[in-house]
Structure formats: structure tokens, C-alpha cells
Chains A and B, each alone.
Chain A
């Protein structure tokens, strides 16, 4: 079945450093979504990318969808302690069912 892997599994940064998580799918995706889950919380939808090579920005967060629509990345510029949490990508193959990635846990030290 379809698999969506994320790397790294875990990253610990100092506040102000940049952070990137990468998402790779075993199959071509029709779109990809990103979610953030705070410790003890539930996943919250951040954004959806649909087009090949698409880049979207939300303040310090930059999301990119690969040309082949099989990979994606989330980059956070100048991390803050409020960025702490686990970031999940989720791929949609067009069969209307998302497959969530393995997640990247981000820890930010002040």
C-alpha cells in the first residue's frame, strides 16, 4: 500500500535556527496537506498544496510540493518556542483518503 515517510523523525534546535522536514511518498499524489500537532493536542490543518512545484508561505513557514508530486517539504525560518510540536504531511492519491506521514517532532530550546 501507499507509504508516506518523513525525515527527520525528531529534531532539536535552538530558538532562531531554521528547521526543515521532508516528506516522501511511494506513489504520485494529487495533493498534499500539512498538519501541526502540539504536545498533548490534536492535529491542526495548516495548508494544502495541489500543483506540481507549488510553493506557499505562511509567515515564517514555507511549504513546497515537488515537481513529480511525490515529495514535499516544510521549512520554518527562525524557529520560536511556539513552533514546538509534531508536523505531519498527508498525501491524497485521488481516492479521497489521506495517508498521513510518519511525522517529525520538533523541539525548540529558548
Chain B
């Protein structure tokens, strides 16, 4: 079944560690996005991509980086995690022509 997958689902990590949050989709969508969301709060766009080798920063300043080497894969990397990075990270994808976003189940990150 076509879907979007995020791993890990939960992650607790120490300050200063490097981490990569994985996101893969099997729907053939060109556009992919990373959002940061604190519980019950707004979604903040941190990165997006319109296709392979295309990445842009979103509206919320972030110390993370992304890559898009394959259409289906859009990982997000934090080089040095800090407690302020504690949040939920949601990956989403959509067709180039628009219509709704499909979201992954998210990664809940806690930096201690």
C-alpha cells in the first residue's frame, strides 16, 4: 500500500549528538516537506523539496539540514542536538499538481 513512513517513532538523545530522522514515501510524490510541531500547536515548515536535488529552507529557522538524492527519500539531519530541538517532526509529501498533503506518523524527539 502506498504510504509515507517515518523512523524512528520516538527518540531520546543526549545534547551534542548527531541524528538523522528518516522519511520515505512510496506514492511517487515529487514534493516533500518537513514540519516541526509542539504538542497541540501550529505546524512550522522547516524544509521542503520539489524534486531530486532540490531543497529549500522553510519559514521557521532551523539548524537542521536535508537532502533529496532519491525521489522517495527525504532525511533530516541535526548535526548537534540541543534541548531546544525537543519537538515532534512531521514529514509530508504531495503531487506537483497540488491537492492534499499526506503526512507521516511523525518522530517525537527529546533531547536531554
Contact = CB atoms under 8 A, between A and B. Distances in A.
Interface of A: 1, 31, 33, 35, 41-46, 48, 86, 88, 90, 92, 96-103, 105
Contacts, number: 47
A99 B40 CA distance: 17
Nearest to A97: B48
Interface in B13-31: 31
- The size bracket of the interface on B is 20 to 34
A43 B98 contact: no
Interface of B: 31, 35, 40-43, 45, 48, 50, 59, 90, 92, 96, 98-106
Given A42-B105, A97-B48, A105-B40, 6 more contacts: A43-B90, A45-B101, A45-B102, A86-B40, A96-B31, A96-B50
Interface residue SS majority, chain B: strand
B102 A102 contact: no
A88 B88 CA distance: 17
A48 B42 contact: no
B101 A43 contact: yes
B16 to A, nearest CB: 29
Contacts of A97: 45, 48
